[in-house]
Amino acid sequence: MCGAALYVSAAAGAHLLGAPPGPPSPVPAVPDVVAVVYTHGPRHAEPPVPRPRRGGLHLTDRRPSWTPARHALAVGEARAAIARGDVYQVNLVGHERAAYSGDPRPALRRVATLRGARYGGILTGPGWALATASPETLVEVRDGRVLTRPIKGTRPATAAGRAELLGSAKERAEHVMIVDLERNDLAMLPGTGPVTVEELYAVRRWCDLWQAESTVSAPLVDKVSLADLLRAVAPGGSVTGAPKRSAVEHIARLEPVGRGVSMGALGWVGTGHLDLGLSIRTVAVDATAVHVWAGGGITWSSDPWAEVAEAAAKAAPIWAALGSSTRG
C-alpha cells in the first residue's frame, strides 16, 4: 500500500465527540467515512461521477435550505446562547442546492483548482462525487510533529479588506478563541509534547477573500493512532466553536439541514505522514443535484446580516466555478 485518500464527515466527527450529529445530510448517498486505498500495480477505473451526461453543466432551480432572514434569525439565537453563557462562539453553516443537467466533471475540476486551495481534489463513489478547494489544515503529521492551521476571519481581497481584517478587534478575538481551543485539542492528544503557536493571525488569500490563519503544533513523543488524532481534532474547532461540545449541540439545533460533505475531514494518509484538510469550500454532486455549504463563526459582537453576507461571499467562488445557474 502506498497510501489512502480519507474522508470523514462532520456527522462522524460529532459522533467521535459524543455529540448530536444534527439533521440528516441532504446527500445521503455519500457515506460518513470513505477510504480509498492505493497500491502499486495496475490502475483501476474510478467509480463514475453520477449519471455522466453530455454537454456542459447547467444549474437550475437553485434553492437555499434557509432564507437570508432565517439565517439572520439563527445568528440572533446563537448570540442569545452566548449571552446566557451556554457557549462563547458557535459556527453556523447554511446549505444550497441546485438541480443540474450536463456533465458535472469539468465543473468539479474547476472547483478543485480554485486559487488558494491547499487541499484541491475530487473524490467519487457510487452515485456521488465531491470536490474541495479547502485552504484549511485540520490535522497534519509529518517529521515527528502534529499540527493544525485554523482559519477564522474573512474580508474581501482588496487592500482595504486586508487592512480591515488586520485591524478588526472582533475578528482577532474570535480567531484567538479558536486558536486556544485547538491548542487544548492537541494538548489532550496522547503522545504529544508541549503545544506551540508557531504563527498567529497570518493573513492569506483564498480566491477573492483574505482569511486569517494560525499554525498550532506539538512534537510527537509517542505513537499516536489515526483514531486518536480524529478524536482529538474532529469536528474542527473553526467550524464548531467554543466550548466545542456545547457549540456542536447548538449547531444541531439551529442548522436547517446536515452538513453533508462539508466541515469534515478530507485528505491523505501515507506511510509515516498524514495530511487532512477541513472540508470547507466543498461541493457535492448526487444523481439529481449539486450541493454547496458556507457559514461563519458567531460571537456576541456578530452582526446577523453581516454574517449572512460573509457566508454568501464564501460560497460565491464555488458557484462561479460550477457555472451558470438560476434561482427557483
pLDDT tens digit string along 116-150?
Answer: 999 999 999 999 999 999 999 999 999 999 999 99
**Active-site option among 96, 152, 182, 244:** 152
pLDDT over 70 at 75, yes or no: yes
Active site residue 152: yes
pLDDT over 80 at 34, yes or no: yes
What is residue 56's predicted lDDT score, i.e. its pLDDT? 76
Which residue type is seen at 152? K
What crossing angle do the helices spanning 68-84 and 244-254 adopt, rounded to 10°? 150
pLDDT over 80 at 46, yes or no: no
How far is Cα 129 from Cα 92, in angstroms, rounded to an integer?
Answer: 24
CB distance 313 to 209 below 8 Å: yes
Which residue type is seen at 6? L
pLDDT over 90 at 228, yes or no: yes
CA atoms within 13 A on the CB side of 327: 5
What is residue 51's predicted lDDT score, i.e. its pLDDT? 56
Mean pLDDT value of segment 1-25: 92
What is residue 134's predicted lDDT score, i.e. its pLDDT? 97
How far is Cα 183 from Cα 164, in angstroms, rounded to an integer?
Answer: 26
Task: Report the mean per-residue pLDDT for the chain.
Answer: 92
What is residue 323's predicted lDDT score, i.e. its pLDDT? 87
Query: What's the topology of domain 3-322?
Result: Anthranilate synthase (3.60.120)
Task: Give 217's strand partners.
Answer: 147, 196
How far is Cα 276 from Cα 230, in angstroms, rounded to an integer?
Answer: 10
pLDDT class of 52 with cuts at 50, 70, 90: low
Mean pLDDT value of segment 245-258: 96
What is the rounded (10 degree) CA torsion for 149, 153, 157, 163? -110
From the list 2, 13, 66, 5, the residue with the least C-alpha distance to 232 is: 13
From the list 25, 3, 37, 8, the residue with the least C-alpha distance to 233 is: 8
What is residue 325's predicted lDDT score, i.e. its pLDDT? 46
**Active-site option among 96, 136, 182, 307:** 136
pLDDT class of 48 with cuts at 50, 70, 90: low
Active site residue 136: yes
Helix-, strand-, coil-residue percentages of the chain, each rounded to 5:
30, 35, 35
Q: Could you give the 3-state DSSP secondary structure of residue 62?
A: strand
